[in-house]
Amino acid sequence: MNYKIYPLKVGSFQYYRGAFNSDPEQYKEMEEFPIMIFLLEGNGRKILVDTAQGPYFIASDAVPVYDCIERLAEGEYAVSTLCADLEAYYQTFERLKYLQEKEGAVILASHDFRTLRQVCYPGE
């Protein structure tokens, strides 16, 4: 799986071993959005949206609650029970740590009610 760690840029059409059978010509008129999809270990895709206030990362089931990442800056994290491959999951968290520290990404937990305190992201 070549795209396990590396992001795919949304807006560009990619062929991967015949996985897509659509005609790429139909996407010529599409507007590109500042969104990247990450195929990281865990249940579901992870989505990075580059907003005017900085990048926001929707971590899907890799980070179901904020308790999993509250000490991410120190290199500590709690592994979700949805983990199938522990080694790959550690790589996912190293990537999340990089996005948070180097890219300034805000990581949103997918199943934590604290995420819903804001009506819209990014907020004021």
Residue 44 has pLDDT above 60, yes or no: no
Distance in angstroms (rounded) separating the CA atoms of residues 20 and 94: 30
Q: Quick check: 110 pLDDT over 80?
A: yes
- Look at residue 39 and tell me whether its pLDDT is greater than 80: no
Res. 2 pLDDT band, cuts 50 70 90: very low
Q: What mean pLDDT is predicted for residues 120-124?
A: 67
Q: Does 9 have pLDDT greater than 60?
A: no
Is the pLDDT assigned to residue 42 strictly greater than 80? Answer: no
Choice between 108 and 40, residue whose per-residue pLDDT is larger: 108
Whether pLDDT at 104 is above 50: yes
Hey, which residues does 37 pair with through a beta bridge? 8, 47
Is 20 inside any structural domain? no
Quick one: how far is CA 4 from the chain centroid? 11
Above 50 in pLDDT, residue 64? yes
- Structural domains in the chain (count): 1
pLDDT score of 91 more than 50: yes
Residue 70 lies in a domain: yes
Strand ranges, E, within 15-109: 35-38, 46-51, 54-58, 106-108
Query: Which range marks the domain in which residue 97 is found?
Result: 39-124
Average pLDDT of the chain?
A: 70
Model confidence, pTM: 0.64
| Rounded average pLDDT over 96-120 | 86
| Inside any domain, residue 18 | no
Give 3-state DSSP helix, strand, coil % of the chain, rounded to 5: 30, 15, 55
Q: Is residue 26 part of a domain?
A: no
Position 56 in a domain = yes
Q: Is residue 88 part of a domain?
A: yes
